[in-house]
Structure 1
Amino acid sequence: MAEILFPTLFVLLALGLPVAFAMAISVFAALSFGSSYPNLVVVKEMFSGLDSFPLLAVPFFILAAEIMTGGAVTLAMLRLAQSLVGHLKGGLGHANVVSSAMFAGISGSALADAAGPGTMMIRMMEKGGYDRAYAGALTIASSIVGPIIPPSITMIIYAMQDQEVSVGSLFMAGVLPGVLITVVVLLANARVSRKRGYASGDPMPPLAAIGRIAIHAFPALLLIVLIVGGIRFGVFTPTEASVIAVFYALFVGMFIYRSLRIKDLPVIILRAALTSSAVLLILGAARAFAWILIIENIPQSLAQAIISLDLSPIVFLLAVNVLLLIFGLFMDPLPGVMILVPILAPISLALGIDPNHFAIVVIVNLTIGLATPPVGSLIFVVSSTTNLKPSAIIKEMPPFFLALATALLLITFVPALSTWLPKASGF
């Protein structure tokens, strides 16, 4: 079946078919022409992949993010970011990066980062004299932290594939790598801004004014503390945390920022439902795809082949980086986690690599794939919001690719970045 499965998948992806449909159709083709299994198995496996209580956290976190991304919340974070770094050289670019990091603690999604505050910052940067294509490239790079800083939908899916980690431990493991990625993108923006002469934004406001802006933004930023703190201290499970996040978002939107009205809810719920359906369809198709791999004994054979090479942990991690970066060129993070983690995680554990460290290496690799052509979803999201050709944005990406590669190597070779906080917090 594998000789039909993979060629069909690659052809369909090359034709531009959505990942979920490409995987589902390739599974149907493999079963129809390469086996005696009934096609009903595909439906069964897709349902099995979605029949999970922890998976309920995904649509609720998406709904919470939709509620919290109202104009008042986004503007509050943008104002705080600009007050903190807007006075520096390339200040509007720095504000873009910092606001993405803040927003990551609400959305858990790189695409939401790019489509929400990212779009607003691109407009502000263009008015401030920045090249539109550069502003788009910076938005793509800064949005990478969306699935790294908790809460993260990708981490929830990863924890379902690897029993050696928990959602709570992954949330804590992602904090320092997320900060590191933010810092290296800030440095890249500073370097480009100096070379191109991008001026700073407004003068640094007085500390009292920054304090007022921070207090105004605090209710929105408190969401990440509520989620991670509640999970850490055992107050609620990750699934329960997602529901609490929805009610907290409703409270903040209606009674604190007063930007959310009852009549807005149907549209918000519809958007969240559509996004959730797309995510869950990918997960179901990935489950069916992974089932064929297991039936064909591909994970076990690949694992034995890698173990027989007697690689050191460092060499194995470098090989994984290369594999995942190539994989990320053609596939989004969620199906990547569903397909590759059951194969690679047991090997990393056998080599003595900390499960949380390996998880962050995998997630960062696959998330960077969102910014790389030919399938990089972030490129097309930003291209549509800026009315630019993807090629124009890609030309501005090399400084940020270098920054992200540097962060990835540091995360790979310095395990403490991913392991210290989970251990310090008791996971």
Structure 2
Amino acid sequence: MTLTLVIIFAALLIIGFPVVFALAISAFGAVLIQGKYPVVVVVKEMFTGLDSFPLMAVPFFVLAAELMTGGAMTAVLLRFAAQFFGRVRGGLGYANVFSSAMFAGISGSALADAAGPGAMMMKMMEKEGYPRSYAAALTASASVVGPIIPPSITMIIYAMQDESVSVGRLFMAGILPGLLICVIYAGVNLIQSHRFGWRGQTPVPPPSVFMMNTLKALPALMLIVFVIGGIRAGFFTPTEASVVAVFYALLCGMFIYRTLKLSALPGILLASAVTSGAILMILASARAFAWVLIIERMPQAAAAWIVALDLSPIIFLLLVNVMLLIFGCFMDPLPGVMILVPILAPIAHSMGIDPTHFAIVVIVNLTLGLVTPPVGSLLFVVSSVGRISVPQILSQMPAFLIANILILVILTYVPAVSTWLPRASGM
């Protein structure tokens, strides 16, 4: 049945089916052709995959992000980020990376970051003389921090697949890796800007304007403090934190910034419902796909095969990274986590690899797949909002792809980047 599942799935991807339908159809097809189980079991597993209290955090964090964006906080945060760099060589490139880090603490979604603030940063960079292709490549690459810096939808899903880690611990563990990614991308921007002579044209604002921009940005930036701080202090669970985030975003938009109107709420609710529905459909389909693998004992077979190879943890992590990089070229992070984590995590734990460290390696690796063709979702989102072809974006991607390899090497072989902060904070 596993072979049937894989053949159908691969065939559907090759002919251009969306991943969500390829996962579901391959699961139905494998069960139907094999005939060992009633087809209704697949439907049951799809619903079971969504019947989870922690999963309720997903639509609430999505709604919080929509409220923050709809409340005109995008422009506020972009002004805050851009004012630090002024006429510095490559200044707007740094502002692009900086703003992605800030919005990651609001949306938890790479695609949302690219489509919202990323699109605005691309226009600003092109206006100041940066090639559109470079602005698009930098925007797509910087947006990968969305699922790394908390709150993160991918981390919520990972914690559901691996009981040895909690959502709160993963949220804390993602902060330093997310900042590391930003620093390395800023380094790429530094090299490219000096190479081609890109320099910012916007002067540094006077102190009064600088202070005003900073004060206006503080309420939006406090969202991540409330989420992480509240979870760490035990005031609420991650799921409850997502509800708090919604009310905080509503408060900011309506009463602090006073830019969120009641008339805009129906559109915001509809947009968040569509986004949440798409995410939940992917999760349900991935659950059915993973169930077929589990019922055929693929995790146990894979574990026995890897154990028989007698690999060291270093070699195992190297092979996992290579496999995930290939896997990420064809599948988004959420289904990747649901399918691969039940297979790989128990093997990693049996080798003595820290569960939090392994989780961050997997999440970052699969997230980087969002900028690798042929499926790289971020490439297509940036292509759409920036009105530029994917091949043009890819022409500027080699430097960022090399940076991605460096990021993975550091995260894989320096576990403290992922584990120090959770341990230091008592989590």
Task: Please tell me the TM-score bracket, short chain as reference.
Answer: over 0.9
SS of aligned partner of 1:159: helix
SS of aligned partner of 2:234: coil
- 1:11 aligned residue: 11
Q: Structure 2 CA distance, aligned partners of 1:71 and 1:133?
A: 30
Q: Structure 2 CA distance, aligned partners of 1:53 and 1:407?
A: 33
* Correspondence 1:15-414 to 2 at 5 A: 15-70=15-70, 72-414=72-414
Deviation at residue 408 of structure 1 after TM alignment? 1.3
Aligned partner letter, 2:186: L
Q: Structure 1 CA distance, aligned partners of 2:97 and 2:204?
A: 17
Q: Structure 1's 119 and 371: CA in aligned 2 closer, same or farther, altered over 3 A? A: same
Task: Map Cα deviations across residues 202-251 of structure 1 (whole Å, 9 max, x no partner).
Answer: 23334443332111100000000000000001000001000010000000
> Which one is further off, 105-114 or 309-318?
309-318
What is the TM-score of this pair, normalised by structure 1? 0.98
SS of aligned partner of 1:92: helix
Q: Structure 2 CA distance, aligned partners of 1:389 and 1:32?
A: 40
Aligned partner letter, 2:49: G
Gaps of 5+ in 1: none
Q: Number of aligned pairs?
A: 427
Aligned partner letter, 2:249: A
Aligned partner letter, 2:116: G
Deviation at residue 296 of structure 1 after TM alignment? 1.0
Asked whether the 8 Å contact 1:90–1:201 carries over to 2, the reply is no
Asked whether the 8 Å contact 1:60–1:242 carries over to 2, the reply is yes
4+ residue runs over 4 A deviation: none
Deviation at residue 348 of structure 1 after TM alignment? 0.7
What is the TM-score of this pair, normalised by structure 2? 0.98
> Which one is further off, 262-271 or 209-218?
209-218
Asked whether the 8 Å contact 1:328–1:368 carries over to 2, the reply is yes
SS of aligned partner of 2:291: helix
Q: Structure 2 CA distance, aligned partners of 1:415 and 1:240?
A: 30
Asked whether the 8 Å contact 2:71–2:257 carries over to 1, the reply is no
Q: Structure 1 CA distance, aligned partners of 2:139 and 2:36?
A: 48
Aligned partner letter, 1:31: V
Asked whether the 8 Å contact 2:71–2:254 carries over to 1, the reply is no
Q: Structure 1 CA distance, aligned partners of 2:277 and 2:321?
A: 30
Percent identity, please: 63
Q: Structure 2 CA distance, aligned partners of 1:210 and 1:229?
A: 27
What is the Cα-based RMSD across aligned positions, in Å? 1.0
Q: Structure 1 CA distance, aligned partners of 2:388 and 2:34?
A: 43
Deviation at residue 290 of structure 1 after TM alignment? 0.7
> Which one is further off, 1-10 or 326-335?
1-10
Deviation at residue 71 of structure 1 after TM alignment? 5.9
Task: Map Cα deviations across residues 236-284 of structure 1 (whole Å, 9 max, x no partner).
Answer: 0001000010000000000111110111001000000010011001101
